[in-house]
A and B are shown apart, each in its own frame.
Chain A
Amino acid sequence: MSTSPSNSPKENPYSSASAKVRAELSEIDASIRTAALFFVTSAIVWLLIGTVFALLVAFKAHEPNFASTYEFLTFGRVRSAHLNAMALGWTSNVIFAVGLWIMARLSRFPINHGGMLLIAGFFWNIGLTLGIYGILFGDLTSVEWLEIPHYATPLLAISYTMIGVWGIMAFRFRKGDHVYVSQWYILAALFWFPWLYVVAQLMIIWFPARGVVQSVTNWWFAHNFLGLWMTPMALATAYYLIPKVLGRPIYSYYLSVLGFWSLAIFYNWAGMHHLIGGPIPVWIISAGIVGSVMMVVPVIVVGINHHMSVVGFHKEVWHSPTLRFIVFGAISYTLVSLLGSAMALRSVNEITHFTHFTVGHAHHGVYAFFTMIMFGGVYYMMPRLLKREWPSAALIKLHFWGSAIGITLMVVALQTGGWIQGMQMNNPDILFLDIVQGTIPWLKARSVSGLFLTVGHFAFAINFFWMLFAAGSVRAKEGPTLLAKIKEGGVA
């Protein structure tokens, strides 16, 4: 396995000449440590809470009497609590942690005003907690991806504003000349999210638009939460860490420019595919289908870029916890997006719409792509923030296998069951209750997959809190930012 050739390190024009203003990575990491740790801790706590909600809804789906006496645990509410705990609790907090850390590092200067990030994070979690309580006790809006009651959303909006402004300022006052691809994605996401959120809140909740204009706005927002917030942040992480871990630049920077702009132009039209066959003008739906199919362009471009960057280095990928997760995520990105483009075609959608197939697709994207990449990001970032190694390699592997097996089982079960469900629903001779009965084995398989994921999440959380609190029992590392020098042959 290759290590640095000591005789001829490649000349990096950005690492020597402006050394006076460019701070060491260790200084930058130290400056953002408190804020990043706060966000990662919040993210992991919400991941566990969201996982508990997930297990509840998974069981309820095939055991309707399970925990059904209590109104605050009724299916519709717990499902919404699960979605929001994961979308706003796990997803957004881990984005703040990893995305802001990457932004700080690439801005090449220790950060200012880290306190502002902490305050914002605090309010974000308070707003979300209030919102989840509100959902469970009946104040949910029943607008998908916007269930948080109106009394909690302003807290989230204010908190986000502080974080977004910080991110833009960090970029504005960066040192050094060039802007790396990850920074474009992070900056774009930081800017797009508040626009999406404010428009959706105003036009659906606060000053509701007339009729199905609400639905068009709803799915413009909800799909762009995935496409213009989560996806860019995950891609930013992959673009930074794949070359970082391997020590070689990304395969084609030109392709990354193409990928970024084609994603920016096409993705935000795709959301209308949620309304195919629905009571809205056909041209709007067709525009959504076109956007969804055109997404093949950025997805293939990113896929080629990532694939060619790791080809020939499979051993290094396998021996790096970070890259095991990130490459799993990157491969999933290609798969889930191509499947998604296919699902937007009317003939496919006629079968898959309204079924568990869609739920499987959603988890394919949110978990197999986004979450696995962010797990990788956390595994890379934490040792550099704390200057300690992860305490247990075994727990990392348990996490990886729990997550990989769990999500694969979930997607296969839900999409097989969902496809059958859809085919049967389009046959009016098949009684609806028989269709429901037919989905039950697949829903049980989904519950089993949830158990695998839960094991993985607890392995992750245990390892994380052990690393955070038990300073004495883990080895402090040598050298400025790196773990101990990698030996020949690696470790696994």
Chain B
Amino acid sequence: MDAQNYLDLLPIILLGVAFFAAAVGALYWCAKRGQFRDFNAQASVIFTEEEPEGEVSDTFPTKKKR
């Protein structure tokens, strides 16, 4: 493949770089907006009153009725 073929790719390469930059930019905007703070609370979102934090919620089924 000679250089001419690769020149055809230039618009696509630029577009790809633009996409990558947009992705990085979006992440930076998020960081600035403060969405990356307070991670600990975000991690606790899965717990509720029925299945609260601090309780193990799965085990093997028992054989006998209690």
Direct contact of A and B (CB under 8 A): yes
Q: Tell whether, in the assembled complex, residue B57 and residue A396 are in contact, meaning their CB atoms are under 8 Å apart.
A: no
Q: Tell whether, in the assembled complex, residue A322 and residue B58 are in contact, meaning their CB atoms are under 8 Å apart.
A: yes
Q: In whole angstroms, how far apart are the Cα atoms of A254 and B38 in the complex? A: 10
Q: List 16 A-B contacts (CB under 8 A).
A: A10-B44, A10-B52, A15-B49, A25-B48, A180-B42, A245-B57, A250-B43, A261-B27, A320-B60, A396-B61, A481-B51, A482-B50, A482-B51, A482-B57, A483-B59, A491-B59
Q: In whole angstroms, how far apart are the Cα atoms of A389 and B48 in the complex? A: 21
Q: In whole angstroms, how far apart are the Cα atoms of A3 and B56 in the complex? A: 6
A76 at the interface (CB under 8 A from B): no
- Nearest B residue to A257 via CB reads B36
Residues of A within 8 A of B33 (CB): none
Chain A interface: which size bin?
Answer: 35 or more
Residues on B facing A (Cβ under 8 Å): 1, 20, 23, 27, 36, 39-63, 65-66
A320: contacting residue among B52, B53, B59, CB under 8 A: B59
**Per-residue interface assignment for chain A, residues 409 to 428, with 1 indicating a CB less than 8 Å from any chain B CB and 0 otherwise:** 00000000000000000000
A480 at the interface (CB under 8 A from B): yes
Can you list the 10 inter-chain pairs with the closest CB atoms, starting with the nearest?
A253-B39, A249-B43, A389-B61, A320-B58, A4-B55, A393-B60, A253-B43, A245-B58, A247-B55, A4-B54
Residues of A within 8 A of B66 (CB): 484
Residues of B within 8 A of A481 (CB): 50-51
The majority secondary structure among interface residues of chain A is: loop
Residues of B within 8 A of A249 (CB): 40, 43-44, 46-47, 53
Interface residues of A in 1-51 (CB under 8 A from B): 1-5, 9-10, 12-16, 22, 24-26
Residues of B within 8 A of A316 (CB): 56
A5: contacting residue among B23, B43, B54, CB under 8 A: B54
Q: In whole angstroms, how far apart are the Cα atoms of A261 and B26 in the complex? A: 11
Residues on A facing B (Cβ under 8 Å): 1-5, 9-10, 12-16, 22, 24-26, 106, 176, 178, 180, 240, 243-250, 252-254, 257, 261, 265, 281, 316, 319-323, 379-380, 389-393, 396, 475, 479-484, 486, 490-492
Q: In whole angstroms, how far apart are the Cα atoms of A388 and B34 in the complex? A: 43
Q: In whole angstroms, how far apart are the Cα atoms of A253 and B36 in the complex? A: 9
Q: In whole angstroms, how far apart are the Cα atoms of A379 and B27 in the complex? A: 36
Q: In whole angstroms, how far apart are the Cα atoms of A392 and B61 in the complex? A: 7
Q: Tell whether, in the assembled complex, residue B50 and residue A25 are in contact, meaning their CB atoms are under 8 Å apart.
A: yes
Given known A-B contacts A15-B49, A25-B48, A484-B66, A9 and B43 have beta carbons under 8 A apart: no
Q: In whole angstroms, how far apart are the Cα atoms of A488 and B64 in the complex? A: 16
